[in-house]
């Protein structure tokens, strides 16, 4: 059975099979995703001549703001929207298969951090909790449901309660994951003194006008000092992607097996390479029902291993909550 007919096969892909799966999905989306089909036509790419990953056209991510990017037509979708400051247009991702998204969330997490079951999952995610259709809140909430812990939860305007719970979890040596927005973690660290050994903190980016943007290295150094812990990590995700990558001890984001990153030339957006520095082009095969080939507005570096780093945003791009600005 083809990967188009059975998309859950992406989660058992071996590295050697990624190219063929990506090409199958590319040809499917080039026919069925109307805005992607039109974009391919406008840039003059012959789909029959595409044989390598670096030959695949990547749809500029801005089209998620202006068009309904879908490859599977149906009456209803699960809708997710990007974060945006007042007056900005949000990107919209119409998800046709919610169960496929859930599987991607779970397997992305477990490929990086191990089984979610029996871990306590906590969320310090103001701003995201205060708006609708947040993919980040959906992701963390789903992980909470899968962990099977009654004390999982979000903490909006409950910092004192969170502090006491963290103390209890540390005393019990309970394996815990705390997802937090950058500014909220920094604010929490200023108010409470606590050393965390059994709690892993995963910052999701985002100062949202609450303070000066700073590099990930600077942010992590501050959080490590404040929490007395080296267990400070990051998560890279967005409303337009169904898969997440996690930044752990090697100081690089590690994509799950069904996701790859290429580098786009900043001065020639149709040229991509498999290493170096530039803008990030992202292949997410979990996006099979929308578009799996996205030209992001993020700048980064890519190692030969396939692991990558995110350095900031392209000039003149809108600042979104889940990204850090480039620090010259």
pLDDT of the residue at 128: 87
C-beta of residue 179 within 8 angstroms of C-beta of residue 235 = yes
CB-based burial label for 12 (10 Å; 0-12, 13-18, 19+) = exposed
Would you say residue 20 has pLDDT above 80?
A: yes
Averaged pLDDT for residues 136-149: 97
Which value, in Å, is the radius of gyration of the alpha carbons in the chain?
Answer: 20
Compute the distance between CA of residue 27 and CA of residue 23 in angstroms, rounded to an integer: 6
- Report the pLDDT value the prediction gives residue 249, as an integer from 0 to 100: 77
- Calculate what percentage of the chain has a pLDDT beyond 90: 84
The 8-class DSSP code of residue 15 comes to: G
Is this model's pTM higher than 0.85 or not?
Answer: yes
Q: Is the pLDDT of residue 21 over 80?
A: yes
> What mean pLDDT is predicted for residues 19-35?
98
CB 125 within 8 A of CB 181: yes
Host domain of residue 211: 1-328
Contact 108, 244 (CB under 8 A): yes
Judge whether residue 327 has pLDDT over 60.
no
Query: Looking at residue 69, what is its pLDDT?
Result: 98
Number of domains in the chain: 1
Indicate the pLDDT class of residue 206, thresholds 50, 70 and 90.
confident
The pLDDT value given to residue 213: 67
Residues 155-174: tens digit of each pLDDT: 999 999 999 999 999 999 99
Residue-wise pLDDT for 277-323, tens only, equals 999 999 999 999 999 999 999 999 999 999 999 998 887 543 343 33
- Residue 60: enclosing H or E segment and its boundaries? strand 59-60
- Whether residue 235 is predicted with pLDDT greater than 80 in this model: the reply is yes
Here the CATH number for the domain that contains residue 229 is 3.40.50.12780
pLDDT in tens, 41-60: 999 999 999 999 999 999 99
% helix / strand / coil in the chain, to the nearest 5? 35, 20, 45
Looking at every residue in the chain, the average pLDDT score rounds to: 92
């Amino acid at each position: 059975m083809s990967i188009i007919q059975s998309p859950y096969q992406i989660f058992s892909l071996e590295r050697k099979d990624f190219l063929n799966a990506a090409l199958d999905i590319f040809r499917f989306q080039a026919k069925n995703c109307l805005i992607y089909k039109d974009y391919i036509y406008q840039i003059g790419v012959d789909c029959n001549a595409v044989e390598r990953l670096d030959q695949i056209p990547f749809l500029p991510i801005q089209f998620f703001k202006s068009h309904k990017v879908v490859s599977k037509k149906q009456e209803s979708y699960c809708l997710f929207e990007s974060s945006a400051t007042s007056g900005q247009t949000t990107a919209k991702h119409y998800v046709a298969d919610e169960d496929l998204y859930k599987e991607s969330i779970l397997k992305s997490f477990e490929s990086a951090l191990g089984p979610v079951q029996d871990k306590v999952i906590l969320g310090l995610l103001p701003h995201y909790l205060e708006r609708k259709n947040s993919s980040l809140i959906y992701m963390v909430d789903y992980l909470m449901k899968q962990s099977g812990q009654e004390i999982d939860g979000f903490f909006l305007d409950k910092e004192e309660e969170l502090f006491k719970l963290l103390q209890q979890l540390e005393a019990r040596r309970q394996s815990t994951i705390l997802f937090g927005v950058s500014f909220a973690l920094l604010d929490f660290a200023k108010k409470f003194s606590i050393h965390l050994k059994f709690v892993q903190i995963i910052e999701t980016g985002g100062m949202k006008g609450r303070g000066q943007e700073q590099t990930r290295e600077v942010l992590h150094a501050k959080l490590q000092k404040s929490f007395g812990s080296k267990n400070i990590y990051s998560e890279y995700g967005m409303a337009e992607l169904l898969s997440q990558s996690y930044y752990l001890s090697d100081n690089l984001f590690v994509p799950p097996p069904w996701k790859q990153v290429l580098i786009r030339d900043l001065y020639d957006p149709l040229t991509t390479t498999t290493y170096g520095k530039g803008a990030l082009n992202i292949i997410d095969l979990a996006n099979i029902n929308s578009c799996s080939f996205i030209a992001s507005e993020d700048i980064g570096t890519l190692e030969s291993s396939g692991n990558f780093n995110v350095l900031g945003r392209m000039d003149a791009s809108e600042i979104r909550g889940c990204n850090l600005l480039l620090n010259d």
